[in-house]
Amino acid sequence: MRTTVGIVGAGPAGLLLARLLHNAGIDSVVLESRDRAYVEQRQRAGILEQGTVDVLRAAGAGERMDREGLRHDGIELRFDGRRHRVDFPALTGGRSVTVYAQTEVCKDLIALQLEEGGPLLFGAEALAVEDAGTDRPRVRFRYEGREDVLDCDYVVGCDGFWGVARQAVPAGLSRVFERTYPFGWLGVLADVPPSHDELVYARHERGFALLSMRSPEVSRLYLQVPQGATAEEWEDEAIWDELERRLETRDDWRLRRGPITSKSVTPMRSHVHEPMRYGRLFLAGDAAHIVPPTGAKGLNLAVGDVVTLARALTHEKETGSAALLDAYSETCLRRVWQAERFSYDMTTLLHSDPGASPFDGRIQLARLERIAGTRAAETDLAEGYTGFPLDEAVRRHGPADGAAPAGAEGAVRAAKGRAGHPGRRRA
């Protein structure tokens, strides 16, 4: 089999890249080791930055998101029994975020790809990326019990943290920057209307808690749990009791309980692999970097990577210049490290570290007081949460030869030029 761009992995990064390339007239093949149902049902992210919403809409994948996504103009910080709302549009010149689950983004992109795009093979497991340092990179994979080879001009590793693509970068060229945290998140879905109309991030001596949602009828909730904890050791009632304690306020706010329909534990880590390119292999999304989930940056970073890459590949196709491909790793890493910093700040601001001293606890409260009490600190949080503009990196590191912006960046600009945000805010 042969294609221009071989994409390993059909998570949000691989699926969106395939769509952007299709729109730019560049053919691709997507290999995904799991089946379609698994990819469509894997519970993960829920918050889309404004830039991600703009990109999905411009890529023609925003119709259902615009109907069903919930626009959120703020979050609530809870600490010491107090509540502080951070007003995003007021602090950022009008930016907001949208609650629309990763499962739904993937369903929309899969349907479009199968209808209009190039091959998307489920149950196709990449075994190795070979010859990435040459002009003829290839992916060896297993499909329907047989081994096969996908010959490509370029290979993109969108295969997440546990994928194989990253292993094709020679060890001597790789640098890994990593931090693990001594806790994880227990995440649950519950058939009960959210107990607040915006997300609530709570700092408590017993540990962090997050109240989020999937729809006006379904709540998504998270609890900090010790490293190594399993979902099975948490009874449903114990989860609600713990959420109630950590989310408690001094006023009459109450947590609504309902049937829990799924629970799982996620470990927390920060991880960056540099560089994000080796020869004709490009890494995008979780294959290149992981953030702890506090602050909801992972999916949005993956989108930033593939927008940058689609634009670079389009530029190469239209002008013959590899300047943007050459700048890919550096361009992405600038944004990646800002998101790493933000996610680290949010994590250490809100979680209770088992090794922390009473002094550390007071410092956390002082940091929260500062955010609640000064516009500069609050603005910094609001800017980080709503996301750094996707085309900022492109503006600063645009085509060295002065060529007109093309492909995905053009698409983002077009989306930005349209009026208003059709998403709805919950009453």
* Segment 355 to 374, residues that bind ligand FAD, using CB under 6 A: none
In whole angstroms, how far apart are CA 305 and each of 155, 387, 398? 14, 14, 15
Measure the CA–CA gap between 210 and 76, rounded to whole angstroms.
10
276 sits near ligand FAD (criterion: CB under 6 A): no
Closest CB 45 distance from ligand DHB, rounded Å: 6
Site string for ligand FAD, 63-102 (x = CB under 6 A): ---------------------------------------x
The residues near 278 (Cβ < 8 Å, ≥ 6 apart) are: 132, 133, 168, 169, 170, 173
59 sits near ligand DHB (criterion: CB under 6 A): no
Measure the CA–CA gap between 383 and 375, rounded to whole angstroms.
12
Four-point Cα dihedral 157, 163, 166, 171, nearest 10: -170
CA 305 and chain centroid, separation: 10
212 sits near ligand DHB (criterion: CB under 6 A): yes
Measure the CA–CA gap between 291 and 303, rounded to whole angstroms.
14
Q: Which range of residues in 11-19, 309-317, 346-354, 359-367 is near ligand FAD by CB under 6 A? A: 11-19
Nearer to ligand FAD, 159 or 378 (CB): 159
In whole angstroms, how far apart are CA 373 and each of 13, 74, 86, 187? 38, 16, 11, 31
Nearer to ligand DHB, 208 or 328 (CB): 208
Closest CA to 301 of 411, 195, 390: 390
How many other C-beta atoms are found inside a 10 Å radius of the C-beta of residue 14?
A: 31
Q: Which of 6, 46, 194, 389 binds ligand FAD (CB under 6 A)?
A: 46
33 sits near ligand DHB (criterion: CB under 6 A): no
Measure the CA–CA gap between 251 and 357, rounded to whole angstroms.
29
164 sits near ligand FAD (criterion: CB under 6 A): yes
Binding residues for ligand FAD, total number by CB under 6 A: 36
Closest CB 266 distance from ligand DHB, rounded Å: 9
Nearer to ligand FAD, 263 or 297 (CB): 297
- Catalytic residues, by residue number, are 72, 201, 293, 297, 385
Task: Select from ligand FAD, ligand DHB, none the partner in contact with residue 387, using the beta carbon and a kind-dependent cut-off of 5 to 8 Å.
Answer: none
Nearer to ligand FAD, 41 or 374 (CB): 41
6 sits near ligand DHB (criterion: CB under 6 A): no
Q: Which of 6, 11, 12, 46 binds ligand DHB (CB under 6 A)?
A: 46
Q: Which of 125, 236, 244, 353 binds ligand FAD (CB under 6 A)?
A: 125
Site string for ligand DHB, 318-357 (x = CB under 6 A): ----------------------------------------
* Segment 140 to 159, residues that bind ligand FAD, using CB under 6 A: 158-159
Measure the CA–CA gap between 347 and 181, rounded to whole angstroms.
9
Segments of 158-217 assigned E as strands: 175-190, 199-203, 209-215
Closest CB 349 distance from ligand DHB, rounded Å: 12
Measure the CA–CA gap between 398 and 187, rounded to whole angstroms.
40
47 sits near ligand DHB (criterion: CB under 6 A): yes
Q: Which of 51, 62, 69, 163 binds ligand FAD (CB under 6 A)?
A: 163
Four-point Cα dihedral 282, 285, 286, 289, nearest 10: 80
The residues near 267 (Cβ < 8 Å, ≥ 6 apart) are: 180, 184, 227
What residue type is assigned to position 281 of the chain?
Answer: L
The tally of CA atoms less than 13 A away on the side-chain side of residue 75 is 29
Task: Lay out the sheet containing 70-72: strands in order across.
Answer: 47-49, 97-99, 70-72
Task: Select from ligand FAD, ligand DHB, none the partner in contact with residue 158, using the beta carbon and a kind-dependent cut-off of 5 to 8 Å.
Answer: ligand FAD
72 sits near ligand DHB (criterion: CB under 6 A): no
Q: Which range of residues in 43-51, 110-118, 254-262, 382-390 is near ligand FAD by CB under 6 A? A: 43-51
Residue 383's H or E segment, with its range, is helix 375-386
> Do residues 311 and 332 touch, judged by C-beta distance below 8 A?
no
Q: Which range of residues in 2-10, 267-275, 294-302, 329-337 is near ligand DHB by CB under 6 A? A: 294-302
Contacts to ligand DHB by CB under 6 A: 45-47, 199, 210, 212, 220, 293-296
Q: Which residues bind ligand FAD (CB under 6 A)?
A: 8-14, 31-34, 39, 44-47, 102, 125-126, 158-160, 163-164, 185, 187, 266, 285-286, 293, 296-300, 302
